[in-house]
């Protein structure tokens, strides 16, 4: 279990002043290929984009999680039960892949939607943007989780989850709202701005990324639904930051240059993601 990790850590979730099971596997260095280690943009900052006065408070704008016995909680329970039957299929494997928040993996998750391989080693400005977004968003995520302390759906059961190696650690953290969903949806919104001609595919992938947490069995459906809202709130607030807007401009130019020469994503993987979008657990 880890405490605060500087902005140079290669994971969005690792930019958090709070212990988390996912940080055990995310403290890798940014890939050194293509000179990435020597081309870090000057815009890269370790400070968040927002201040205490501009930081949205999820404990105030999100509704409380559904109470046991309520209609919403019954819907949550049904989604968890149904998706336990998806173990070992392609959608389960995609959920396990989507659980990885290392930045190279995260960008690769959106490569099919972008229409080209988003190589972390060739996008230092985008990496800097995402690191600073993580520094901004993740503390708010933990504020919500620690406020509500909602028990995760698999706790107290022997039902499988797609990240069994993290089962004991994840069980100790709150479920509401879903942090993976928040981060995935905020990335989808940012990439939609940077690549507007790919907006539909990118937003669809952002939705599927959140749904993976339901399929994985580590979040209730309502955790994910409010995770989308949390991600949207964070991105909306960050647009008030001149530093965020400047980093967006740099990342936009970088992606425009990259897509001219980047390889196409794996066709089979894109088909799996497309099937996941068609067969939503919601």
Answer positive or negative: Cα dihedral of 55, 15, 19, 208: positive
| Closest alpha carbon to 160 in 215, 105, 198, 101 | 215
- Catalytic residues, by residue number, are 180, 213, 219, 223
Q: What is the CA radius of gyration of the chain?
A: 18
Q: Is 214 exposed, middle or buried (0-12, 13-18, 19+ CB in 10 A)?
A: buried
CB 122, CB 168: distance < 8 Å: no
The beta-strand segments (E) located in the chain are: none
Backbone torsions φ then ψ of 24, nearest 5 degrees: -60, -25
Structure tokens at 134: 């993580």
């Amino acid at each position: 279990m880890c405490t605060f990790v500087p902005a140079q850590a290669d994971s969005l979730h690792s930019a958090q002043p709070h212990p988390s099971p996912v940080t055990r596997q995310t403290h890798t260095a940014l890939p050194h290929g293509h000179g990435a280690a020597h081309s870090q943009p000057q815009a890269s900052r370790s400070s968040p984009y927002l201040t205490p006065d501009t930081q949205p408070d999820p404990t105030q704008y999100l509704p409380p999680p559904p109470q046991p016995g309520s209609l919403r909680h019954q819907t949550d329970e049904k989604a968890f039960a149904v998706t336990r039957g998806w173990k070992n299929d392609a959608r389960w494997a995609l959920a396990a892949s989507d659980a990885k928040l290392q930045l190279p993996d995260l960008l690769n998750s959106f490569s099919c939607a972008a229409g080209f391989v988003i190589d972390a080693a060739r996008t230092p400005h985008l990496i800097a943007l995402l690191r600073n977004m993580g520094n901004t968003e993740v503390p708010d995520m933990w504020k919500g989780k620690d406020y509500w302390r909602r028990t995760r759906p698999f706790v107290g059961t022997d039902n499988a989850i797609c990240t069994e190696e993290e089962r004991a650690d994840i069980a100790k953290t709150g479920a509401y709202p879903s942090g993976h969903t928040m981060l995935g949806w905020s990335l989808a919104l940012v990439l939609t701005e940077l690549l507007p001609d790919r907006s539909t595919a990118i937003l669809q992938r952002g939705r599927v990324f959140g749904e993976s947490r339901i399929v994985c069995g580590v979040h209730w459906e309502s955790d994910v639904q409010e995770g989308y809202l949390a991600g949207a709130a964070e991105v909306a607030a960050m647009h008030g930051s001149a530093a965020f807007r400047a980093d967006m401009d740099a990342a936009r130019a970088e992606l425009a240059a990259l897509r001219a020469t980047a390889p196409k994503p794996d066709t089979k993987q894109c088909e799996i993601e497309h099937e996941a979008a068609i067969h939503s657990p919601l």
